[in-house]
Amino acid sequence: MKDGRKMDPTEELDFSSEILSDAYDLVDSKPRIAAREAYAAMLHAAHARIAAEGMLVPATHKGVSVIIGDLYRGDAFRAQSELSQAERWKQAGDYGRGTLPTVEDAHEAVDAAQKFCDHLRRDTHTRMAERGAEQPQKVDYPALVNRTKDQPT
């Protein structure tokens, strides 16, 4: 797995909010695009949350998903499964995999993204306050993936 990238949590949260606003604007007129944007907003919120831990952010959905799952393991907030559901909506919209998102699906996706992003925004700000301005730590992504591969989330 490739090394991650250093990202600014605040910039990622701002970008997530911008994308989510776009998704709301498109939800009734272009549901396929709105569902895709909902996923992108969630992905950038996840990037922010990982960066707030001082970690480099993986370049792939799988890498991000594994770390988010690890950060929320045992928590009632099912971050990893919500991100995976959003990815399925994105794939349906992008590639016609499964059923294309309807307006109702797009509303569900955007509402779920709003809740997800709000939760990660709170947690990101809390973690940033706890950590201060530390340099990102290098994470051994293959070891993390292998360690969590057989563990339920």
* C-alpha span between 2 and 89 (Å, rounded): 26
Each residue of 50-100: pLDDT tens digit? 999 999 999 998 999 999 999 999 888 888 889 888 888 888 777 776 677
Each residue of 2-24: pLDDT tens digit? 568 999 999 999 999 999 999 99
Q: What is the mean pLDDT of the chain?
A: 84
Phi, psi values for residue 5, rounded to 5°:
-120, 145
Q: Which of 70, 58, 65 is nearest to 87 (CA)?
A: 65
* C-alpha span between 38 and 15 (Å, rounded): 12
